[in-house]
Amino acid sequence: MTTADPIPGIAAPSARPSAGLLVLLAAMTPEHLEHVLANLTAAFPTEGLLVAMQGALPAGSYPSLRMIAAPATNPSWTLTAADFVNACQLAEKNGSSSILMLGPSSSSLDSAALRDLANAVLATPTDLAVPFYNLPPRTGLVNSAILYPLTRALFASRVRFPLAVHLGLSLRMAQSLAGAAHRFTSSNQAEMPLWPINEATVAGFTIDQLDVGPRFQSQHTGLDLNTILPLLTGTLFADIDAKAAFWQRFRPLPPAQNALPMPMLQAPPTDAAAEIAPMIYAFRLAYTNLQEVWSLVLPPSSLLALKRLSATDGAAFQMSDSLWARIVYDFLLAYRLRTINRGHLLGALIPLYLAWVASHINITAFGADPESHIEAVAAAFEADKAYLVSRWRWPDRFNP
Amino acid sequence: MQNVLATMLQSDTNQASQSLYTGNNSIWRHMSDALHESIYRVLSLLISILPGILAFLVALAILTLIGMVLSALLRRGLTAARFDDRLARSRGNAEWAPSTSPTALIARASFWACVLIGLIIGVSAFDASYATAAALPSSLLPYLARIVGAAFLLIAGNLSARFLARSVLIGAVNMQLQYARFLSLGIKWLVLVLTGAMVLDHLQIGGNVVELAFGILFGGIVLTLALAVGLGSRDLVSRSLESHAEHSGEHSAKPPAAPTAGPDESIRHF
C-alpha cells in the first residue's frame, strides 16, 4: 500500500478522463447539482466526461459532459452498498476503467480536488483514492474517536477519513466493493455503508490519500447520533469480525505523510464548559442507570475508571486514551461474542462516546492541539491491539 | 333391688361397648378397604402406564444415542472435508468463532433433532399406552400438556420482559430521561404481569379472579407510569420555561438537551 501524496502547489498533469472515467453523482438538490457539474466542467473542460446521475438530466448546459441516468437510490448522508453496486455495473456497462464517486456535500469540493481524485486512479496505479478533508477541530468526532483509530490500529492504514463520501476507484476496486455490497443488497440492506479502506487493505490494493480542502456538510434529516452511531459502529464491528484472519497478523504502520496538511480551519471561540455540560450529564445519567449493561461488557478495571470519571468535575473531566481504547475493544469483543443483544450493546456505547467527546473538548480547551490528541488516541489503540487479539482468540481468559 | 339395678346397668354398658366396638371395627374395615382399593387402583394404573413410560424412556435414550453418534460422525466428516473453510471462502467470511462454526452448528443441530424425534416418538408411545389405561383420570395428560405450555409461556414472557426492559432503559438513557430506570421497571412489570395472567389463564386457575386482578394490576401500572412520566415532564417543561423566561443563560438547573448534529453547532459528530 502506498500513501503517496501530490506535492502541494504543483498541479498534477491531467489524464484523459474520456479514456474511461465515470463520475457517479449521489442524489442531491438542484442547486448543489449545478455547482458540482460546473466544477466538473472546470476540472475536465475539453473531455467528454461520462457523468451518471439520478433524476432528470439537465439538458444542453454542459456540452463537455455526457450525462447518463443512474439507478435511483434512497438519499443518504454517506455512500451506501447500493451506490457501490451501481458504480460497478455502470462502469462495466460503459467500459470505464476508473470511477469517481461523489456523495452528498460534493459541492464543497472544488475543481482541483475533483481533478486530483480522478487523476489518482486514472494516471497512477492507485486503486482507491480517498480525500483528506480539512475540517474544523470539533467536526467529524465519531471518525476521530472510533473509525480512524480502529482502522489505523487493525488495518495499518493512515487514512484519516475511512468513511469518506468522495472516492476515486479503479475498476477492480469497484468490483471488489460491489462484491462486498452484494451481501447487503441481496439481504435487502442496500442502505448500509461499506468500509472501502478495509476492503482495499485486505485485497492488497493501493490506497492514496489526497488533500481536498474543506468539506461543508449539509444538514440531512435523520442524522441523529442515537441512530447513526450504532449503525456505523455496528457495520464497522461486523466488517472487523469478518476480516479477523487479516488484522490479527502484525503489520507495520506506513510512515506518516508529511505532505498532508494539518487541519487549518479553526473552531469559533466557545465556552467549553457549557458545551460539554450536556455530554457529562448524559454520561453521569448513564453511569447511574447502565451499570448492569456495562458490567457485562467491561472489565472491573474499566468500570472503576468510569466510576472515578463520573465523580470528576466538569473542568477536570478527562478520559484517558488507554481507557477509551480499552472500552472500544471490549465493546468490539462483546459484539463478536454476542454477550448481550447487539442493538443494546451499541446503544450502551453512546454515553461513553459522549464522555470521550467531552474529554476531548476539555483537553483541547486547555491548549492541546486537537489533531495531536486524536493521534495520541490512535496510538493508544495501536498499543492495546495485543489485548484485543488475545481476548479475540481466548475470550474466556481471566480479565481483571 | 340394688343388685337388680346393678345387673341391669352392667348389662346395658356391655351392650353399648359391644355395639361401639362393632361400629369401630366396621369403620376401620371400611377405611382399610378403601385404602386397599385406592392402592390397588393406583398400582394397577401405574402398571398399566409403565410400559408407556418405559417406551418413552427407551425411545428417548436410543434416539439420544443415535444423535450423539450422528453428531460425532458429522463433526468428523465436515472437519475432514474442511467445510468451514470452503463456506468461508464462498461467503467471504474469513473466520468463525469455534463455538459457532458451521460444523459445530450442524453437529449440534443434528443431535438436538434426534433428541426431538426421540421425544416425539416417546410421547406418542406414552399416549398410546395412556389410551389403553382406562383407570387413569381423563384430565391428567391434557393438564400435563397445559403445564408444559404454561412453562414455555413463562420463559418466553420472562425473556421478553428482560429484553424490553433493557431496550427501554438504554433508549431512555440515550434520550436523557431522568426516570429511565423507573420506566424500564414499569415496562418489565407490565410484561411480567401480562405473562402471569396468561400462564394462570392457560392453566385454568382462578377464572374470573385472575382476569379481574390482571386488569387492576395492569391498569395500575399504566396509570402509575403515566402519572410519573407526566409529572416528570411537567417539571421538565416548567424548568425549561423558567430558564427561557429569565434569559439568564444559567445551565446548572436545566437538564441539558440531547446532542444533535445540527449545522449551527460547533460540535459535529459526523
Task: Give the end-to-end CA distance of chain B in Å, rounded to a whole number.
Answer: 124
Distance CA B47, CA B45 (A): 5
Q: How far is B191 from chain A (nearest CA, A)?
A: 19
In tens, the pLDDT along A312-365 reads 987 889 999 999 999 999 999 999 998 899 999 999 999 999 999 999 998 888
Contact A128, A134 (CB under 8 A): no
**Structure-block grid coordinates of residue A75:** 438519499
Residue A168 in any domain: the answer is yes
Q: Does residue A83 fall inside a structural domain?
A: yes
Q: Which of B97, B176, B251 sits opposite A285 (nearest CB)?
A: B176
pLDDT > 90? residue A253: no
Co-location of A90 and A144 in the same domain: yes
Which of these three, A247, A280, A314, is where a domain ends?
A247
Interface of A with B in 16-75 (CB under 8 A): none
Judged on CB neighbours under 10 Å (0-12, 13-18, 19+), B91 is exposed
End-to-end CA distance of chain A: 38
Same domain flag for A183 and A331: no
C-alpha distances (whole Å) from A395 to each of A215, A250, A322 are 41, 19, 20
Question: What's the confidence (pLDDT) of residue B91?
Answer: 60
The number of CA neighbours under 13 Å toward the Cβ of B63 is 19
Q: Does A342 touch chain B (CB under 8 A)?
A: no
B258 SS3 class: coil
Residue A388: domain span: 272-393
Q: From the CA of B203, how many Å to the nearest CA of chain A?
A: 32
Question: Are the CB atoms for A116 and A12 separated by under 8 Å?
Answer: yes
Residues A313 and A205 in one domain: no
- State whether the Cα torsion B188-B194-B199-B205 is positive or negative: positive
Buried b (16+ CB within 10 A) or exposed e, A134-168: bbbbbbbbbbbbbbbbbbbbbbbbbbbbbbbbbbb
Mean pLDDT of chain B: 77
pLDDT of residue B83: 83
Does A5 map to a domain?
Answer: no
Q: Would the CB atoms of B170 and A274 count as touching at under 8 Å? A: no
Question: A171 and A61: one domain?
Answer: yes
Residue A182 and residue A46 share a domain: yes
Within a domain: A307: yes
User: Do A26 and A159 belong to one domain?
Assistant: yes
Distance from CA of B240 to the nearest CA of A (A): 14
Say if residue A79 is in the same domain as residue A148: yes
A351 touches chain B (CB under 8 A): yes
Identify all chain B residues contacting A244, using CB atoms and an 8 Å cutoff: 94-95
List the single residue in A with minimal CA-CA distance to B176: A282
In this predicted structure, which of A9-13, A63-67, A284-288, B118-122 has the lowest mean pLDDT?
A: A9-13
- The last residue of one of the domains, among A247, A263, A286, is A247
> Which chain B residues have a beta carbon less than 8 Å from that of A270?
266
Last residue of a domain, one of A247, A264, A296: A247
- Taking each helix axis from N to C end, the angle separating A148-155 and A385-393, rounded to the nearest 10 degrees, works out to 70
Cβ-based contacts of B167 with chain A (< 8 Å): 343-344
Q: What is the mean pLDDT of residues A387-396?
A: 88
Query: Residue A1: inside a domain, yes or no?
Result: no
Each residue's pLDDT tens digit, A137-157 = 888 899 999 999 999 999 999
Mean of the pLDDT values across residues A219-231? Answer: 76
For A:244-283, CB contacts with B below 8 A are 244-246, 267-268, 270, 274-275, 277-279, 281-282
Give the per-residue pLDDT at A1. 41
Q: Is A261 contained in some domain?
A: no
Chain A residues in contact with B258 by the CB 8 A cut-off are: 225-226, 278, 282
> Hey, what amino acid is at B251?
H
* Of A219, A226, A245, Cβ closest to residue B174: A226
Q: Does residue A91 sit in the same domain as residue A221? A: yes
Instruction: State the pLDDT at residue B133.
Output: 56
Determine whether the interchain pair B174/A337 forms a contact, defined as Cβ–Cβ distance below 8 Å.
no
Q: Give the whole-angstrom CA distance, residue B262 versus residue B270.
A: 10
The pLDDT value given to residue A199: 92
Query: What residue type is assigned to position A238 of the chain?
Result: A
- Give the integer Cα–Cα distance in Å for A164 and A117: 12
pLDDT of B116 strictly over 70: yes
Dump the DSSP string for B182-249: HHHHHHHHHHHHHHHHHHHHHTT-STHHHHHHHHHHHHHHHHHHHHHHHHHHHHHHHHHHHHHHHT--
The residue among A245, A144, A145, A143 whose CA lies nearest residue A195 is A143
Angle formed at CA A351 by CA A350 and CA A353, multiple of 5 degrees: 65
Cβ atoms of residues A315 and A273 within 8 Å: yes
Using a CB-CB cut-off of 8 Å, the residues of chain A touching B259 are 225, 278-279, 282, 354
Using an 8 Å Cβ cutoff, are A89 and A61 in contact?
Answer: no
Same domain, A138 and A196: yes
Confidence class of residue B178 from pLDDT cuts 50, 70 and 90? confident
> Which residue in chain B is spatially nearest to A219 when comparing CA positions?
B263
Give A141's contacts in chain B (Cβ within 8 Å).
Answer: 267-269
CB contact under 8 Å between B269 and A336, yes or no, is no
Indicate the residue of B97, B173, B263 with minimum beta-carbon distance to A290.
B173
Q: Which residues contact B179 (CB under 8 A, 6 or more apart)?
A: B172, B228, B229, B232
A389 within domain boundaries: yes
Query: Mean pLDDT over residues B109-130, rounded?
Result: 84
The pLDDT of residue B94: 47
- In this structure, of A23-32, A295-304, A382-391, B27-36, the range with the lowest mean pLDDT score is A23-32
Residue A10: pLDDT band (50, 70, 90) is: very low
Residues 6+ apart with CB under 8 A from B257: A278, B176
> Which residues of chain B have a CB within 8 Å of the CB of A277?
251, 256
Q: Are residues A69 and A132 in the same domain?
A: yes
User: Would you call A136 and B266 a contact, using CB atoms and an 8 Å cutoff?
Assistant: yes
Same structural domain for residues A166 and A53? yes
Mean pLDDT of chain A: 84
CB contact (8 A) between residue B169 and residue A142: no
pLDDT of residue B139 exceeding 60, the answer is no
Q: Do A274 and B251 touch (CB under 8 A)?
A: yes
Of A243, A278, A354, which has the smallest distance from its Cβ to B257's Cβ? Answer: A278
Quote the cell numbers at residue B71.
453428531
Chain A contact set for B92 (CB, 8 A): 179-180, 183, 242
Q: Which residue type occupies A143?
A: N
Which residues in chain A have Cβ-Cβ distances shorter than 8 Å to B251?
A: 274, 277
Of B268 and A24, which is predicted with more confidence?
Answer: A24
pLDDT digits (tens, 9 = 90+) for A106-130: 888 888 888 888 888 888 888 999 9
**Residue A30: pLDDT band by 50, 70, 90 thresholds?**
confident
pLDDT per position as a tens digit, B206-225? 878 888 888 888 888 888 87
Looking at residue A12, its pLDDT comes to: 43
Min Cα distance B187 → chain A (Å) is 15
CB A151 within 8 A of CB A143: no
Predicted confidence (pLDDT) per residue in A48-58, tens digit = 788 888 877 66
Sheet order of strands, A207-213 included? A65-69, A49-53, A21-25, A98-102, A166-170, A128-133, A207-213
**Do A243 and A277 reside in the same domain of the chain?**
no
Across the interface, whether the CB atoms of A281 and B176 are under 8 A apart is answered: yes
- Domain annotation covers residue A71: yes
A293 close contact with B: CB closer than 8 A: yes
- How high is the ipTM of this complex? 0.84
Q: Which residues of A touch B257 (CB under 8 A)?
A: 278
Which pLDDT score is estimated for B220?
86
Residues A256 and A378 sit within 8 Å (Cβ to Cβ): no
Residue A285 distance to chain B (closest CA, Å): 7
Sign of CA dihedral A162, A164, A168, A171: positive
Task: Express as a percent the part of chain A with pLDDT over 90.
Answer: 41
Structurally, chain A folds into a number of domains equal to 2
| pLDDT for A13 | 42
